[in-house]
Amino acid sequence: MLTMPKNKGLSIFIKPQILLFFIFFALFTPAFLLANEPDHTKNNDIKATEATHAKTSEAFNPGKMILEHVKDAHDWHILDYNGHAVSVPLPVILYDNGLHVFMSSKFEHGHATVESKGNFYKLHDGHVYKTDAAGEIAVDAKGKATNATPIDLSITKNVLALLVGAVIILLIFFSVAKAYRKRGNAAPKGLQSLVEPLIVFLRDEVIKPSAGKHYAKFLPLLLSIFFFIFINNLLGLIPIFPFGANLTGNIAVTMILAIIVFFVVNFSGNKSYWKHIFMPDVPKAMWILLIPIEILGVVLKPFVLMLRLFANITAGHIIILGFFSLIFIFGQKNMFVGYGTSIISVAFTLFMSMLELLVAFLQAYVFTLLTSLYIGSATEEHHHAEDHH
Amino acid sequence: MDLVLPGLGLTFWMVLVFGLLLFLLKKFAWKPILSALNERENSIEEALKSAEQAREQMSKLKSDNEALFKQARNERDEILKEARDMKDSIISEAKRSAEEEGKRMIQKATEEISKQKAVAIAELKGQVASLSVSIAEKLINNQLSNSAEQQTIIANQVNNLNNNQQAIA
């Protein structure tokens, strides 16, 4: 009882200090930002340099900048310095009557034509096209290149992020597995105690109640999917080089995850699952209507999984980049307005990043939960067939 | 449009990397982790169960002990009671027998006394008779010459006898 008012007094004492700190921080943020956030402040310059290259004096284009970030790329752009893009070159791997391997720096951001084993390639709008020696790109009425495209298996930005994410996941779980082997039945420790509650939560609260009797068979897959999405979502929020790519917000990645779910659900489907689709418990006249709907449902479920993850993560990246773009939009009108906006932008970005942390977990959770529900309904026993429409 | 169209390269790498990841995780991570978790849960459950059993045994032992204690106390009480009863009965028996003995002795004494009295009286009677005979002898020897005197003497003697008899009775 005696300590209570003491603590209260202490927290009251601390609060104004925190407030003061924030005010101080807000006042001196513009200079601070310029020094520490080259990644985003320089985005302005990227566009500027690209604009000068294109011989058009176009202003900062937030839509283009944001889209270029959330899309895949052949090199990993970090910042622009003195009008020169600083980016990490990535290997380009093309299959075009034989393998062609070279670094993406040879493209010089789309300005140079690369010769490889007698073929010529050029980067145009983020895609590699086959050209003649002069590097001519034919464009149709819609502005789309009509040149032939080689099979492009390059280690792009997202592929690198995928590899980095996979390595991190393997490091985490191999070390955790080692800890389990070594410590036996002892209480978890370190990384183990961080991961164990998640695994136990997923197993006991998500997968066990929804995936049905045979849940143990699907546990490795579902846990792998969850941690793949969760960890890559988190890595996508870190704005420094090998992280920050929009990997889980890329449709190819979510598509593969959804296809895996589609195959697993349908291959594990039992007799009552298929009967529910092709011979539903309704009058036969209704089958004409119901069977197409059920078949559509089979495809739609993983399709929606794919879209939900893609849209949520991409939207998160777009919103954060949008807030930063505000700084440069206003900064173009007046430098000081830009500085002022940066305070608000940083505050909002901070808030959005917190929200994105939640979304990172939530989307992984939802994907896992829905997948286990689909598996559960596909493996459910016959007498429950009517309860899960 | 590029945003919603899956790129071929990334799709290829995703299949490869995710497939490999799935395989490696399943074999080298999930298997040991999940089995270790299961094992630990089982061991905890077993430990709890055995603790519960031990507690049950303990309480059973306790109740057994209590019953034993109760029984011992009952036995002790019974023995005490028996002893007390025995003491009482011994005392009363002793009292009774003592009383009886006393009574018997008194009676015997009384009988003896009356017997002795009768014997004494009989002896006295004999002595008196012999005394009177001897007196009578002497008197007769002295006074038998005189008939008148004889008469008075006899009469006195008889009177005396009667008086003596009355006195004794």
Which pLDDT tens digit goes with each residue over B110-148?
999 999 999 999 998 888 888 888 888 887 777 666 677
pLDDT value of residue A382:
64
- Both A250 and A102 in a single domain? no
Answer with the residue of higher pLDDT: A136 or A216: A216
Lowest pLDDT segment from A44-58, A210-224, A228-242, B35-49: A44-58
From the list B17, B26, B29, which residue is nearest A163 (CB)?
A: B17
From the list B4, B10, B21, which residue is nearest A253 (CB)?
A: B10
Q: Is the distance from CB of B20 to CB of A166 less than 8 angstroms?
A: yes
Lowest pLDDT segment from A11-20, B2-11, B92-101: A11-20
Boundary (domain end) residue, out of A134, A154, A174: A154
Phi/psi of residue A212, nearest 5 degrees: 85, -165
pLDDT value of residue B1:
60
* Interstrand relation of A119-124 and A127-131 (parallel, antiparallel or unpaired): antiparallel
| Residue A34 predicted with pLDDT over 60 | no
- Both A239 and A176 in a single domain? yes
For residues A166 and A231, give the distance between their C-alpha atoms in angstroms, rounded to a whole number. 9
- Both A164 and A203 in a single domain? yes
Strand partners, A77: A87
Q: Is the distance from CB of A175 to CB of A155 less than 8 angstroms?
A: no
pLDDT value of residue B96:
94
pLDDT value of residue B22:
94
CA A379, distance to chain mean position in Å, is: 31
Q: Give domain status of residue A127, yes or no.
A: yes
| Residue A386 predicted with pLDDT over 70 | no
When pLDDT is averaged across residues B100-119 and rounded to a whole number, the result is 93
Question: Are residues A251 and B28, on separate chains, in Cβ contact within 8 Å?
Answer: no
Structure tokens at A276: 């529910």
- Residue at token pair 């034509």: A113
Q: Is the distance from CB of A228 to CB of B20 less than 8 angstroms?
A: no
Which ipTM score applies to this complex? Answer: 0.78
Q: Residues with Cβ < 8 Å from A364, sequence gap 6 or more?
A: A226, A227, A229, A230, A233
Question: Are residues A224 and B30, on separate chains, in Cβ contact within 8 Å?
Answer: yes
Q: Give domain status of residue A17, yes or no.
A: no
From the list B6, B10, B20, which residue is nearest A156 (CB)?
A: B10
Name chain B contacts of A95, Cβ cutoff 8 Å.
none
Task: Give, for A99, the enclosing helix (H) or strand (E).
Answer: strand A99-103
Boundary (domain end) residue, out of A154, A182, A204: A154
Count of positions (residues) in chain B: 169
Burial class of residue B157 in the structure, from the number of CB atoms within 10 Å of its CB (0-12 exposed, 13-18 middle, 19+ buried): middle
Question: Are residues A252 and B32, on separate chains, in Cβ contact within 8 Å?
Answer: no
Closest CA to A266 of A236, A302, A230: A302
Name chain A contacts of B23, Cβ cutoff 8 Å.
none
Interface test with A, best of B25, B31, B48 (most A CBs within 10 A): B25
- Both A111 and A227 in a single domain? no
- Both A327 and A375 in a single domain? yes
Structure tokens at A302: 């993983």
pLDDT value of residue B145:
66
* Interstrand relation of A91-95 and A75-81 (parallel, antiparallel or unpaired): unpaired
- Both A222 and A257 in a single domain? yes
- Both A337 and A205 in a single domain? yes
CA distance B44 to chain A (A): 9
Answer with the residue of higher pLDDT: A185 or A36: A185
Contacts 24+ apart (CB under 8 A), A49-57: A49/A80, A49/A83, A49/A84, A49/A85, A50/A109, A52/A83, A53/A111
| Residue A18 predicted with pLDDT over 80 | no
| Residue A30 predicted with pLDDT over 50 | no
Helices (DSSP H) in A37-97: which residue ranges?
38-41, 43-53, 62-70
Q: Give domain status of residue A258, yes or no.
A: yes
pLDDT digits (tens, 9 = 90+) for A175-196: 999 998 888 778 888 888 999 9
Domain around A112: 91-154
Lowest pLDDT segment from A21-30, A305-314, B55-64: A21-30
pLDDT value of residue A385:
46
When pLDDT is averaged across residues A80-104 and rounded to a whole number, the result is 83
Average pLDDT score, chain A: 81
For residues A383 and A279, give the distance between their C-alpha atoms in angstroms, rounded to a whole number. 15
| Tally of domains in chain A | 2
Q: Give domain status of residue A330, yes or no.
A: yes
For chain B, the residues whose C-beta falls within 8 A of a C-beta of chain A are 2-15, 17-18, 20-22, 24-26, 28-34, 36-37, 39-40, 43
CA A308, distance to chain mean position in Å, is: 12
Answer with the residue of higher pLDDT: B142 or A146: A146
pLDDT value of residue B169:
64
- Both A184 and A142 in a single domain? no
| Residue A368 predicted with pLDDT over 50 | yes
Closest chain B residue to A163 measured between Cα atoms?
Answer: B17
Lowest pLDDT segment from A161-165, B6-10, B27-31: B6-10
Q: Give domain status of residue A228, yes or no.
A: yes
Q: Give domain status of residue A68, yes or no.
A: no
CA distance B20 to chain A (A): 9
When pLDDT is averaged across residues A105-111 and rounded to a whole number, the result is 82
Count of positions (residues) in chain A: 389
Residue B23 CA: distances (Å) to CA of A224, B29, B95: 10, 10, 105
Closest chain A residue to B6 measured between Cα atoms?
Answer: A252
Q: Is the distance from CB of A104 to CB of A154 less than 8 angstroms?
A: yes
pLDDT value of residue B144:
63
Boundary (domain end) residue, out of A124, A154, A184: A154
Q: Give domain status of residue A70, yes or no.
A: no
Q: Give domain status of residue A350, yes or no.
A: yes
pLDDT value of residue B25:
94
- Both A133 and A220 in a single domain? no
| Residue A39 predicted with pLDDT over 80 | no
pLDDT value of residue A69:
84
pLDDT value of residue B107:
94
CA A352, distance to chain mean position in Å, is: 15
Asked whether the CA dihedral A208, A209, A212, A218 is positive or negative, the reply is negative
Percent residues over pLDDT 90 in chain B: 62
pLDDT value of residue A45:
44
- Both A177 and A244 in a single domain? yes
Residue A216 CA: distances (Å) to CA of A122, A193, A209, A213: 50, 22, 11, 8
- Both A207 and A334 in a single domain? yes
- Both A194 and A139 in a single domain? no
* Half-sphere exposure in the Cβ direction for B85 (13 Å, CA): 6
Question: Are residues A153 and B12, on separate chains, in Cβ contact within 8 Å?
Answer: yes
For residues B13 and B19, give the distance between their C-alpha atoms in angstroms, rounded to a whole number. 10
For residues A364 and A118, give the distance between their C-alpha atoms in angstroms, rounded to a whole number. 46
For residues B87 and B93, give the distance between their C-alpha atoms in angstroms, rounded to a whole number. 10
| Residue A70 predicted with pLDDT over 70 | yes
pLDDT value of residue A62:
84
What confidence category does residue A14 fall into, taking pLDDT thresholds of 50, 70 and 90? very low
